[in-house]
Amino acid sequence: MKTKGLIVLAITALLTLNGFGQEKESRFAIELNGGASVATRELGGVDLNTGLGFETVFHYRFYNHLGAYAGWGWNKFSTDDDFGGNKVDFEETGYVFGLQFKHPIGTSPISYYARFGGLYNHIEIEEGDDIIDDTGHGLGFQIAAGVDIPLGSSWSINPGLKFNAISGDIDNNGTKTNLNLNYVMIRIGIVKNF
């Protein structure tokens, strides 16, 4: 009985290893992307200028075309308007997580991707280098789409568009103000697969 069990275990191990050896695409990747951020609405009654930002994202593909991602991002917006009598900038930082669907376009090596995920971010109001208020971390969402263009054996670039939505409250001199930050990001990223 022990011999049969060992034979079944050995055959299972060989088949499993053989399946891993035939896999063409890496399961893990790290991505660094950056670019312009454009607000789609006023924030706390002020118009935001085009901002800049970046994200660092880790990917894990757990099924053929489906995977999970998680990372950290930063975006900064300036304004020409006064906010509470101050000249300020707005920074949004925090974490991103979600699911990614990635599929080849026909027989080409180029793939398209779509992402839907959550945010756990906060909005800081800064005057110069000083943080004058902070919403605290809260939940939001992100949707994204783009293409993945291979550059070599384990590198690719991935231009795309993302939409982030996050909100939080601040106490502006005894007046509670709700900040709803909605913006579109035009991003280009570099991806290392391993």
- Other CB atoms closer than 10 Å to residue 104's CB: what's the count? 13
Question: Architecture of 26-193 per CATH?
Answer: Beta Barrel (2.40)
SS3 at position 1: coil
User: What is the overall mean pLDDT for the chain?
Assistant: 89
Distance CA 40, CA 174 (A): 27
Q: What is the pLDDT of residue 26?
A: 86
Q: Count of CB atoms within 10 A of residue 152's CB?
A: 7
- Least confident range from 50-59, 107-116, 173-182: namely 173-182
Angle (CA) 42 45 47, round 5°: 45
pTM: 0.84
Phi, psi of 112 (to 5 degrees): -105, 155
Structure tokens at 154: 């384990």
Using alpha carbons, list the distances in angstroms from residue 157 to 29, 63, 139, 148.
Answer: 12, 22, 29, 6
- Per-residue pLDDT, averaged over 1-29, amounts to 58
For the segment 30-57, what is each residue's pLDDT rounded down to a tens digit?
Answer: 999 999 999 999 998 899 999 999 999 9
